[in-house]
Amino acid sequence: MKYAIVIPDGAADNPIEELGGKTPLAAAVTPNMDWIASNGRCGSARTIPSGMPCGSDVAIMSVLGYNPKQWYTGRGPLEAAAQGLNVGPDEWIFRCNLVTIIDGVMKDYSAGHIRSEEAWSLLDELQRQIGGETVHFHHGVSYRHLMTIKREMNVKTVPPHDIMDKKIDSFLPTGYGADSLRTLILRSQAVLSEHEINMVRRDLGENPATSIWLWGQGKMPQLPSFAQRFGRRGAAITAVDLVRGLSRLIGWDIIEVPGATGYIDTNYAGKGAAAAEAIDKYDLVLVHIEAPDEAGHSADFQAKVKAIHQIDEFVVGPVLDKLRSFGEDWRILVMPDHPTPCGVRTHTPDPVPFALAGKQIGGGVVQAPFTEQTAAASDLYIPHGYEIMEYFLTIR
């Protein structure tokens, strides 16, 4: 048996007036996803357990078959695993965004999707001026970086994409040890304010990186391997470190694709081609595409519709064609990890639609097209998202 999972990150949404009351998923042209829904089953699943952070880290852990309430320790550690950082048991790992704060308001959680080379120079300067023996800044991609710190703490933080266009004062870290984090954020603003890179970005009309933002803290988890739990060998294709980290922690290989950016300009065709090729080698191949989520955070419903269409054409289509070459011995699952509605510009914990097809998966009560409405009307609902992997692999 061959298995494939496609995660269009954040693709689920609410009806949008400008789309004639349709969601971006319903408005997009998706013949391949619709075929899966028509020839298999649609349903919905809750990937964010009650009371847990509403992010891709928790949601994708669920999709991979691991109960976040048992295994989740924070987003930062997952990204550290992706980078292969050697982190001690006494170190806390934080996600460190480069952001744009203007007049005390969070204007851009990504500093204009700053280029990695620029970001690395800024991180190096931060390390020189405010890092040290107990504080280290670690390069990531674009605006997504990490910071490790050695000290006891018990803090609460908020993701920057959850506070767009809001005053930051009420959302700074709180709790035991938060004073050191607040100080680092404040000192970063002094370092970055007149940096040459930011001066050039302003001249070019690009958002400058005016501050760091620390969130997603935790310590490194130890997860049982996917092969131990499910008896299959897997690989992941993604441009996002948290998915890389999760994949490595469960023993999967990572397949790198040139031009995969984690943004709406990603190499869709390259991801689809790489996935199709990898199916020959692995039992299960997962393809994660961040673009719909980024469009949702930007409230750009047109970009979201386009991204979903490109995922269908250039990722789902080639993967489906490859699976069909194995006769009947295959299954495919398409599902967002969480909704990222354009109207709220952040994640919500609502159930997500999914469609699956392949060997021994019969049609449900309600069939195509693949939309939130179709999925919600189905008789198939999985209240604990981490159970969907076992269902997908073992359904008879």
pLDDT digits (tens, 9 = 90+) for 287-311: 999 999 999 999 999 999 999 999 9
Coil, strand, or helix at residue 61? helix
Judge whether residue 366 has pLDDT over 80. Answer: no
275: amino acid identity, one letter:
A
What is the maximum alpha-carbon separation in the chain? 62
Burial class of residue 56 (count of CB atoms within 10 Å of its CB; 0-12, 13-18, 19+)? buried
Instruction: Identify the band that residue 364 occupies on the pLDDT scale cut at 50, 70 and 90.
Output: low
- State residue 222's pLDDT score: 87
Please tell me the least confidently modeled range out of 154-168, 181-195, 350-364.
Answer: 350-364
pLDDT at 367: 56
CA 309 and chain centroid, separation:
19
Nearest of 32, 26, 21, 31 to residue 11 by alpha carbon: 26
Which DSSP string do the residues of 300-355 spell out, in sequence order?
A: -HHHHHHHHHHHIIIIIHHHHHHHHTTTT-EEEEE--SS---TTTTS---S-EEEE
Q: Average pLDDT in the 63-83 region?
A: 94
Residue 32 has pLDDT above 90, yes or no: yes
Question: Tens digit of pLDDT for each residue in 242-263?
Answer: 899 999 999 999 999 999 988 8
3-state secondary structure of 381: strand
Domain architecture of the chain: domains with CATH: 2-72+222-394 (3.40.720.10), 82-218 (no CATH)
Please write the tens of the pLDDT for every residue from 370-394: 999 999 999 899 999 999 999 999 9
Contact 210/198 with Cβ under 8 angstroms? yes
Give the pLDDT score at 141: 85
Joined tokens for residue 382:
């999985």
Neighbouring residues of 241: CB distance < 8 A, sequence distance ≥ 6: 78, 79, 82, 83, 140, 141, 144
Task: Say whether pLDDT at 395 is over 90.
Answer: no
Taking the C-alpha atoms of residue 327 and residue 323, their distance in angstroms, rounded to an integer, is: 8
Q: Whole-angstrom Cα distance, residue 290 to residue 304?
A: 11
